[in-house]
Structure 1
Amino acid sequence: MSELVLRSEIIDDPAQFDALAPHWWKLWGQSTSATPFQSPAWLVPWWRTFAPGDLATVAVWRGGDLIGLAPLYLEHGNTGSKLLPVGISLSDYLDILCAPGIEARVLAVIVEKILSIGWSQWILPDLPEGGAGLAIAHPDLKAGLPTTHGPCPVLAIAGDETLAGCVPSRRRRQLRRAFQAASRRGRIALSSAGGNPQTFLDQLIRLHEARWAGHGGGVLADVAVEHFHRRSLPLLDAHGLVRCWLFAIDGRTVGAYYGFHHRGRAYAYLGGFEPAYADESPGAILIGHAIAESIREGAREFDFLRGQEAYKYTWGAVDRWTMRRVWTRS
């Protein structure tokens, strides 16, 4: 067998970062630990919107094939430079992408290239279970012990769309009562917002702001975050990753659900509802509908993503923790 010849480069030009997308999608489709948060549809818009430092992404090539990608940037401060992942803060999972079967070799090349950059601390938070970043080791890196970082409650899916096989009976009764209450209020309708991302975002932003009025405004109150989603959602939708639903009563949209579906896992990312309809529980109706739809699509898990909000556990979700790793130079 011929020797594996790999070539690595530092990408510090945003135009080059954008141009990676076709190769990046191919690698993302091969990577066993990839989630929608590692796709170019998520991370390229993130960098275009926020760009909080100097881009320092490491790409590894074999011939014309991208086989490894560490989307990173340098954040400069008084105590030195930190090497951080592109997508930090808004992404529930972060990781390095590697082609399957040669992960150890690719990671070694990535680390060698990273050591050629000037930094004092390298931080990878939000690493998923089985993530490539958990396997990084190098004699010139001093590694702290991996630590738990954030809980992501996950519901193991079983049964059919009645939800009887996976959702506790108490929650199913509450869901039936919510449908009854909504029906008494008026004619109800659940509709997919796929294919019309900007209109969906208009509704989501309106409802999310209404839900969090007087409580800090919610994440979408940040104009930059809104701009990010307006760039990202159409790209995610074009690749079939988005699952967006709207709930209306008598023609008025009172709830919105924004999620993803990828490789047998559904992700509940964001939602909003009109407080005047809180008694009708539009948020719960939408989550129940999203779980049922994920079952129809063959999902094995429904991931509520990070945060220990009490409502997640009423659906039967159990915590799964992401990990955080920190390295300094030996």
Structure 2
Amino acid sequence: MLRPSGSLHAGTIHRLEPSLKEKALSLHLVPPPSPSPSPFSPPPEWSDLLSRMVPPTPFSTWEWQALWWKHFGQGKEWLALAVRHEGRVIALAPFYRDDQGNHLRLVGGEDLSDYLDILCQPGEEARVWELILDYLRSRPSGLEGLDLHCLPGHSPTLEVLPRLARDHDHAVRVELEEGCPQIELPATWQDYLLLLHRKDRHELRRKMRRAQSAPISLRFRQCSEEECAREDIKSFICLHRKSRPEKEGFMDERREAFFAEVASVFTRRGWLRLYTLEHEGGAAAAMLCFDYQGNVMLYNSGYDPAFSSLSPGIVLIANCLQDAISRRKARFDFLRGKEDYKYRLGGRDFPVYRIVVEGT
């Protein structure tokens, strides 16, 4: 039975009974985001633990996870856990029960989030995962294991969780899921160009010159304010659907509503920029980027195939890179996907993993 305990917001976290074997720690259930009064105001403990992640990512913010749950949580069971030590929250594990009902996954969904993990005070990962595994071994509501996607290559979870799970005779599978090409940004645009292979550098310059000298005038514009984002996200979604048939299939009505709300909430926080390559009659290409904690992340893009001869997508990325360098950003992250252009523009793979733990 659940009974009230301490809370992130008073009365909202419930201690799990019976008490677990790690007496110094206690495990609690965290209710899902409430639609009122302000679902996108993060609990202070969430923000504090997020700030300790190295590096923190927008996909682990309360805002992203609350929005994902609002739009995609139907039919799923929220089972987020908080770990307390002497009354203080030292870890948050934002889990939900999958559609099959037997595994815990991380809120955010592997099809929309690029990096996911628990939020944990550094140095406490082993004790926290031990407690979570102990809870799962009690087989609450028939849970059988964990299926964790999008774990970044530097996550302590990758070292701690498999070892602890194997120590308790669980079947464990660790898989390289995908790579996220990244660029460590230099001080100047010219320094960036020197990072590229000679052929790729020549090709990028050629495409930028061709776009600049095209009969139709193309103009680079960026939006980081909520007011312009309301219109620019519509243009982005339209171009995303136009780009390729698989992108049109991806951008269904639920995802369209999700991205529109992400644009609104994230521009309010200063975490999102929409970049557009415009012509007199509209937009030739658009990109949605996260601007978070000193890094720029290219989340998704779209272009009008009518302008494909001008390589508007590559030209827009080049302008975005110039902007990131001028604003002294540390890293440009292409996020998941092994498209060739990411590597021709200087990306180097950063690995992302999946851990499956069975037999809890």
TM, length-normalised to structure 2: 0.81
Any idea what SS the aligned residue of 2:288 has? strand
Aligned to 2:250: 219
**Alpha-carbon offset, residue 73 of structure 1:** 0.8
Q: Please state if 1:158 is matched with 2:181.
A: no
Q: Which of 145, 157, 161 is 1:133 aligned to?
A: 157
Q: Please state if 1:107 is matched with 2:126.
A: no
Q: Would the aligned equivalents of 1:123 and 1:326 in 2 still touch at CA under 8 Å? A: yes
Aligned to 1:31: 53
Segments of 5+ residues of structure 2 without an aligned counterpart are 1-22
Amino acid of the residue matched to residue 219 of structure 1?
A: F
Q: Structure 1 252/156 Cα, relative in aligned 2: closer, same or farther at 3 Å? A: same
Partner Cα distance (2:283, 2:99) in 1: 44
Q: Determine which structure has greater relative contact order: mean sequence separation of CA pairs < 8 Å that are 6+ residues apart, divided by chain length.
A: 1
Amino acid of the residue matched to residue 27 of structure 2?
A: S
Aligned to 1:177: 206
Partner Cα distance (1:103, 1:16) in 2: 31
Q: Tell me the alpha carbon deviations over residues 269-309 of structure 1, each in whole angstroms, 9 at most, x when there is no partner.
A: 10011111111111111111222222233333322111111
Q: Would the aligned equivalents of 2:180 and 2:334 in 1 still touch at CA under 8 Å? A: yes
Q: Which of 306, 312, 320 is 2:342 aligned to?
A: 312
Q: Would the aligned equivalents of 2:180 and 2:337 in 1 still touch at CA under 8 Å? A: yes
Partner Cα distance (1:233, 1:185) in 2: 33
Percent of paired sites with the same residue: 28
Amino acid of the residue matched to residue 133 of structure 1?
A: T
Q: Structure 1 64/31 Cα, relative in aligned 2: closer, same or farther at 3 Å? A: farther
**Alpha-carbon offset, residue 112 of structure 1:** 3.6
Q: Structure 1 216/244 Cα, relative in aligned 2: closer, same or farther at 3 Å? A: closer
Q: Would the aligned equivalents of 1:208 and 1:218 in 2 still touch at CA under 8 Å? A: no
- Could you say what the CA RMSD is over the residues aligned between the two structures, in angstroms? 2.6
Q: Which of 173, 176, 181 is 1:148 aligned to?
A: 176
Segments of 5+ residues of structure 1 without an aligned counterpart are none
Residues 1-330 of structure 1: pairs in structure 2 closer than 5 A: 6-15=25-34, 18=39, 21-23=42-44, 24-51=46-73, 52-62=75-85, 65-77=88-100, 81-88=102-109, 89-116=111-138, 117=140, 118-134=142-158, 135-136=160-161, 137-138=164-165, 139-140=167-168, 142-162=170-190, 163-183=192-212, 184-195=214-225, 196-212=228-244, 214-215=245-246, 217-220=248-251, 222-250=252-280, 252-329=282-359
Amino acid of the residue matched to residue 202 of structure 2?
A: R
**Alpha-carbon offset, residue 93 of structure 1:** 1.1
Any idea what SS the aligned residue of 2:329 has? coil
- Alignment length (residue pairs): 323
Q: Structure 1 303/143 Cα, relative in aligned 2: closer, same or farther at 3 Å? A: farther
Q: Would the aligned equivalents of 1:38 and 1:95 in 2 still touch at CA under 8 Å? A: yes
Q: Structure 1 114/185 Cα, relative in aligned 2: closer, same or farther at 3 Å? A: farther
Any idea what SS the aligned residue of 2:189 has? coil
Query: Which 10-residue stretch deviates more, 49-58 or 162-171?
Result: 162-171
Amino acid of the residue matched to residue 55 of structure 1?
A: W
